Amino acid sequence: MDIALNHSFGSNPQVRMYFDEDIGDWGQPSPDNPWFNQQPRHDFNVGYDYNHESEKTKEFCKRVFKFWVEEYRIDGFRLDLSKGFTQNNTIGNVELWNAYDQSRINILTEYANHIWSNYPEKYFILEHFANNDEEQVLSNNGFLLWGNMHSDYTEASMGYGGDLSWGVYTNRGWGSPNLISYMESHDEERLMFNNINFGNSSSDYFVQMSNTSLARQELSFVFLIPIPGPKMIWQFGEIGYDYSINYCENGTINNNCRTAPKPVRWDYLINPNRVKLLKTVKALNFLKTEYEIFKTSDFNVNLSGNIKKINLYSPYENVCIVGNFGLQAQEVSPDFPYSGTWYNYFEGTSLEVNDINLNLQLEAGEYLIFTDFETPTPDLSADIQLSFDEGYTNNCDVKIFPNPTRDFLFIESEYDIESYEIFDLSGKKLLHLNSSLKIIDCSTLGHGLYTITITLINGEIVRKKLLINV
């Protein structure tokens, strides 16, 4: 659960009970406030700043953590702005705020230990972004830490190289795989938006083309998920969401629209290339969670340059991953550790390797995953199973047309209609009418994929997919 205990706002009773209303434009906590600082201690503060060296604040926070764990049985916490859990005053000096702070380590560890003493399996994830020497200590103490790799994955995805090495916990000198690397988040621009608007090109390869951008999203995930350690996938990245983080409801792009509602494009699931991306991510997650090799501490990575590689080793399982982030085909060796039979994961084929230095040609944006153990071949077809069964309870024939439609939908059935309902893919009912009419006005529906449920006079219920193409 995402929780913000770094700060609070003026409606908080802890603020209001000890508050000087006449100071500044908005007032501030009074000097005798047992929980809050009068002034914030760092430049990224919002609202009013908790004093985490106050015993009252520590008692309060420990009660909050314990309540959520015991009342709601949550798996753990992601601490918002965890670098702010300090009393060191670094106003005007962000570099000093980023620097190693033992008091901050002590505060965070005390909170976590309070929960871990009774619930050792609970997660504490930090949105920290401090200098690596401090994050290394926190990792060793058992915390998971966000690892922002957005810039590097963006450069790689767009076709400008990109070095992904800092997304690997061992390259930071950490002893435990506690780095949560990610390429997109609520604070970062979408990779697909950058690909389509700023992607690189060669004479015959154009990253800015939508299908090419989607294929490079696949490539990026291939070099994110399999790296040992946890990863974060930001919502809809798995279907290539391409609206800017600053997209406004009127269709413009403006920094003031950072938190404006963004379109939910379930209709992306009828695009074969987006379905392939989704199924590729699913297949990668299956590998990551089903096979112990992806927990190995024995691995090599080469993540700079256009050709990138991940090699995972163990006595029982081995994996070789290679990808071409460049704009032209290249010859590349997967660096097989030994000769013998290797299996192409996505194609479901085998390769007899007689020379461990074997070179393979990779087209621009192409990737390969080889294992020395057999796995189920992933389903990468364009079809996707929706959350309902399209059909009916006997052999009565019901047709809807035209489908897709822009405005009116016609129903053809041997039985009269009692009622119909139209739902979006989240299950929200948008239209309901008790009517025997066999024509429906769909002009109020936006572009996208819907389901229509038709109840016939004989009691039969028919469900169909409906596409509105505005």
**Number of C-beta neighbours around residue 255 at 10 A:** 8
**Which residues partner with 331 through β-bridges?**
361
C-beta separation of 422 from 463 below 8 A: no
Q: Domain coordinates of the chain in residue numbers?
A: 2-292, 298-371, 398-468
Contact residues for 22 (Cβ-Cβ < 8 A; gap 6+): none
Half-sphere exposure for 277 (CA within 13 Å, toward CB): 26
**Number of C-beta neighbours around residue 330 at 10 A:** 16
Distance CA 66, CA 48 (A): 23
Going by C-alpha positions, the residue among 53, 44, 122, 126 that lies closest to residue 90 is: 44
The two structure tokens encoding residue 115: 């929960």
Tens of pLDDT, residue by residue over 379-415, are: 998 876 555 444 444 456 888 999 999 889 999 988 8
Sign of CA dihedral 41, 44, 48, 51: negative
Tens of pLDDT, residue by residue over 360-375, are: 999 999 999 999 999 9
- The alpha carbon of 244 is separated from its chain's Cα centroid by a whole number of angstroms, namely 15
The two structure tokens encoding residue 70: 């015991």
The two structure tokens encoding residue 410: 């016609």
Instruction: Give the pLDDT of residue 396.
Output: 66
Instruction: Give the pLDDT of residue 295.
Output: 97
Backbone angles phi, psi at 289, to 5 degrees: -95, -20
- The CATH number that domain 2-292 falls under is 3.20.20.80
Instruction: Give the pLDDT of residue 385.
Output: 58
Report CA-CA distances (Å) from 355 to 269, 338, 359.
42, 8, 9
**Number of C-beta neighbours around residue 378 at 10 A:** 17
Give the chain's radius of gyration (CA, Å).
27
Q: What is the DSSP letter of 277?
A: H
In 297-362, beta strands by DSSP E: 299-302, 307-312, 319-324, 330-332, 340-344, 349-353, 360-362
| Matching fold, domains 2-292 and 398-468 | no
Going by C-alpha positions, the residue among 198, 185, 261 that lies closest to residue 224 is: 185
Instruction: Give the pLDDT of residue 427.
Output: 82
Going by C-alpha positions, the residue among 196, 184, 193 that lies closest to residue 246 is: 193
Give percent of the chain with pLDDT exceeding 70.
97
In 184-306, beta strands by DSSP E: 231-232, 299-302
Distance CA 470, CA 467 (A): 9
Query: Edge to edge, what strands does the sheet with 408-413 contain?
Result: 398-401, 408-413, 439-441
Instruction: Give the pLDDT of residue 75.
Output: 97
* Regions of the chain where pLDDT drops below 70: 384-396, 470
**Number of C-beta neighbours around residue 159 at 10 A:** 25
Measured distance between the N- and C-terminal CA atoms of the chain, rounded to whole angstroms: 38
Superfamily of domain 298-371: Golgi alpha-mannosidase II (2.60.40.1180)
Distance CA 58, CA 81 (A): 17
Superfamily of domain 398-468: Macroglobulin (MG2) domain (2.60.40.1930)
